[in-house]
Structure 1
Amino acid sequence: MQMLKVGTIAGLTGAALAGCGLIYKPVGHTLNHYSLDEIVPYALGSGDLDLAACGTGMGLNQLGGSFSRVIKRPARLMIVTNTTASFCSEIQAQKYHLKVQRNLHNGNTDVARDNRIVAQRWERLTALRRYQVYQDTVNAYGEIGTDKCPDLSNELGTDQDQFVYLTGVLVGVQGLLNDIQANSSVGIPQNIAAKAGRASDCIDNQQWWGVPKALEAVVWLSVPGNAPEGAQPYAQLQQSAEIGRRAGIALPAMLYALAAYGQSDMARQKEAIKMVAEIYNDYEPGKAPDDRDENNDAAQYLLLNQIAYNEALYLSDRIWIDAEGHRTPLVALGSFPGEGAPTQEIDAGSYLN
């Protein structure tokens, strides 16, 4: 009798666990599609980089990744979550890079050396997350940069699939740059950049605000010998930035700024930073989501402008710290030292009262 009870309990437990397994699979598929269809578009239109990167990206990443225990890995979702999570860690890396500059400016070399080590740790984490983005892009769409473009109308069947692919290609290149900053400690293959440049031809440049051609030009400047004969990368970057300006998207202008920074071209870097500021300020970032024109790309992809603004602000801060010892004055992106830019007068006494 006792054995019968034990057997009954074991059977019921097994059945319950099996039932959970049956439930997990449809729940996994449902949550995966809901995340792509609703959470991701909401985050892209929210305009709060901290919430999207350190909130949605960090929080949804583990939940999304856990789906791979019961269904096929949701690679498309993981492209987005690791991308946004990577901006969270990159912001930390940038913070410590700026501390390096400030301490060098003030002659605190020991502190600057420590800050650089911390910055490299954050760069390494960012590179790891972005390399995972690249791997998930290959998982979802096949190897990038081959002579065959992927089918971008399969599972999602919408423009969102093209956006996810573009994200994966772009972030893969960014991950390589992060790894270089981290002394190549992750070991991301350097041919990813050239592959990404070729893969950009698979995306419609006009539809996606000039980003594909801007990325291609960045690769030409970053990878020696990769540009075709007669290529004019800076002209292509300027053209792409203008396409982005007309659409209200600052991302191509941001890529222009990063390319100029990488080539130590201060004049072009300032030009691109000013363009980012102008595009960002032309759209009203403080407007409530419900009040925006849903057919406006700048409204649907407001987070991209926040990313562009943050990256441009970091480059601007580097310029200001080198010249003045402090970051860009509040709400003054696009102004530079020596150009009649606003300054911040600090009353030291007010902090003591």
Structure 2
Amino acid sequence: MGTYRNIAAVAALSLSFFLSGCSQHMMRDVAASGMVGFSNDYAAPWFLASEDTDVMCGMGEGLSAMTYPMGPNADALVPMLSLASGMCADERSKEEELRYIRAIRRNDIETAQDARTLQKRWLALAAKRQYFGYQAGVRAWGEPGKTCPALSDRNDQMSYLMGLLLGLQAFQSDFSLGGTLVPSDTVSKVMSGMSCLGSDDFWGVPAAALSMTEIILANAGDDQVALDVGYAKLARASAVGERDGVRMVQALQASLFAMQGKEERVKQVIRDHVTSKKETPASVEFKLMDKMATRTIKLVSDKLWTQATGQRTPYGKLGTFWDDKPTLENALDIDDLL
């Protein structure tokens, strides 16, 4: 009888420990580590090699609720999901911007105001998601700008890079709304963190981010020499991405020139992007990143087209523009009207 009581006491104590917060956290951490390992070995490689960017958008939103509560052991996985979910919200914001432009062209003030409101709502959500992903990267790899983190493999480096990109995106999104969420020193920290990555290993993106900062500062200071140097660095970074079949820098170029109001330079980047895709196939390993770049460039093109004509880029006509001189090759096809 005494032995039975002892066994029962031990069992009760064990059950109590198992159900305690400490044990629950241990189980959560083990599950999170397993999730990150599975993602690194199987999910992420398949994901990055895929062509369907809509799947990326859906995955970012769908898996967030399951991944984010998993605690610090899952932080390295969060930037990839936040990059995807942030892209979803940002694109919806841009769609509302197109609706706003069309309404203004029709002098439809009520629709324009409604579109602008929704644009801001989606942009605020994008900023929130992007900053959340950046903060997860900070927890996983440390505050950028202090020391370079110990990144053991390509997966760690990709997580670190995505976290830094999210910091830039979050700042830009938040700044467009008045800058109430993202601290003003985020950009300088991200720029310091970019120096920890080999630019040629990541399609020229780190060098492009640094050169874009130089361009913005030179433009603000009206320093033409520094501006020319910055543009030259950006062009070299773009060439790296074109060579490797991951043309993310071209998307950054198009966005920068659009922000500066340099329409002809935007058009040329878009034309160069289309030509590059014909000449150099997308990276097999990182096809999704190249597709994301094209998706971003198409949105920039859509805004130009909508401002000029009231409609987005015609199907299959990315790289062409409404004011191009007509030729036999790009003459109107009856299929365009279907």
| TM-score bracket for this pair, using the shorter chain length | 0.7 to 0.9
Give the aligned residue type for 2:69: S
Which string of whole-angstrom CA distances, capped at 9 and with x for unpartnered residues, describes residues 185-243 of structure 1? Answer: x4211222222223222111111111111111222233546999846221111111111
Name the residue aligned to 1:294: none
Residue 16 of structure 1: CA displacement?
6.5
Query: Residues of 2 paired with 1:35 and 1:166: CA distance?
Result: 17
Contact 1:97-1:116 at 8 Å conserved across structures: yes
Contact 2:93-2:122 at 8 Å conserved across structures: yes
| 2:185 matches 1:191 | yes
Query: Residues of 1 paired with 2:222 and 2:287: CA distance?
Result: 33
Contact 1:145-1:198 at 8 Å conserved across structures: yes
Query: Residues of 2 paired with 1:265 and 1:26: CA distance?
Result: 51
Residue 160 of structure 1: CA displacement?
2.0
Residue 112 of structure 1: CA displacement?
0.9
| 2:54 matches 1:50 | yes
Name the residue aligned to 2:118: 118
Which string of whole-angstrom CA distances, capped at 9 and with x for unpartnered residues, describes residues 87-133 of structure 1? Answer: 11111111101111111122212211110110100000000011112
State the TM-score, normalized to the length of structure 1. 0.82
Query: Residues of 2 paired with 1:21 and 1:139: CA distance?
Result: 17
Query: Residues of 2 paired with 1:308 and 1:29: CA distance?
Result: 31
Name the residue aligned to 2:148: 149
Name the residue aligned to 1:237: 234
Alignment map for 1:44-83 (pairs within 5 Å): 44-54=48-58, 56-68=59-71, 72-83=72-83
Name the residue aligned to 1:338: 323
Query: Residues of 1 paired with 2:332 and 2:208: CA distance?
Result: 33
Structure 2 counterpart SS, 1:150: coil
Equivalent of 1:202 in 190, 196, 199: 196
Question: 1:344 and 1:101, CA in 2 relative to 1: closer, same or farther beyond 3 A?
Answer: farther
Give the aligned residue type for 2:76: R
Contact 2:36-2:76 at 8 Å conserved across structures: no
Structure 1 counterpart SS, 2:95: helix
Structure with the higher helix share, 1 or 2: 2
Give the aligned residue type for 1:162: Q
Question: 1:261 and 1:117, CA in 2 relative to 1: closer, same or farther beyond 3 A?
Answer: same
Contact 1:65-1:73 at 8 Å conserved across structures: no
Query: Residues of 1 paired with 2:28 and 2:299: CA distance?
Result: 43
Question: 1:261 and 1:239, CA in 2 relative to 1: closer, same or farther beyond 3 A?
Answer: same
Structure 2 counterpart SS, 1:299: coil
Alignment map for 1:200-279 (pairs within 5 Å): 200-223=194-217, 224=220, 230=226, 232-279=229-276
Equivalent of 2:154 in 134, 139, 159: 159
Give the aligned residue type for 2:68: G
Residue 346 of structure 1: CA displacement?
8.7
Give the aligned residue type for 1:261: A
Which string of whole-angstrom CA distances, capped at 9 and with x for unpartnered residues, describes residues 141-183 of structure 1? Answer: 211133x32222xxxx212211221111122111111112223
Name the residue aligned to 1:329: 314
Question: 1:57 and 1:284, CA in 2 relative to 1: closer, same or farther beyond 3 A?
Answer: same
Give the aligned residue type for 1:238: A
Give the aligned residue type for 2:108: N
Query: Residues of 2 paired with 1:27 and 1:160: CA distance?
Result: 19
Contact 1:141-1:150 at 8 Å conserved across structures: yes
Structure 1 vs Structure 2 CA RMSD: 2.9
Residue 326 of structure 1: CA displacement?
0.7
Contact 1:220-1:227 at 8 Å conserved across structures: no
Structure 2 counterpart SS, 1:333: coil
Deviates more, 1:267-276 or 1:227-236: 227-236
Contact 2:33-2:73 at 8 Å conserved across structures: no
Query: Residues of 2 paired with 1:23 and 1:143: CA distance?
Result: 27
Give the aligned residue type for 1:128: K
Residue 25 of structure 1: CA displacement?
4.0
Question: 1:282 and 1:164, CA in 2 relative to 1: closer, same or farther beyond 3 A?
Answer: farther
Query: Residues of 2 paired with 1:275 and 1:347: CA distance?
Result: 23
Query: Residues of 1 paired with 2:208 and 2:187: CA distance?
Result: 13
**Structure 1 gap ranges (5+):** 286-297
Residue 328 of structure 1: CA displacement?
0.3
Query: Residues of 2 paired with 1:188 and 1:336: CA distance?
Result: 36
Identity %: 25
Query: Residues of 1 paired with 2:198 and 2:182: CA distance?
Result: 27
Name the residue aligned to 1:40: 44
State the TM-score, normalized to the length of structure 2. 0.85
Query: Residues of 2 paired with 1:117 and 1:202: CA distance?
Result: 39
Query: Residues of 1 paired with 2:281 and 2:238: CA distance?
Result: 19
Residue 27 of structure 1: CA displacement?
2.8
Give the aligned residue type for 1:28: A
Contact 1:58-1:84 at 8 Å conserved across structures: yes
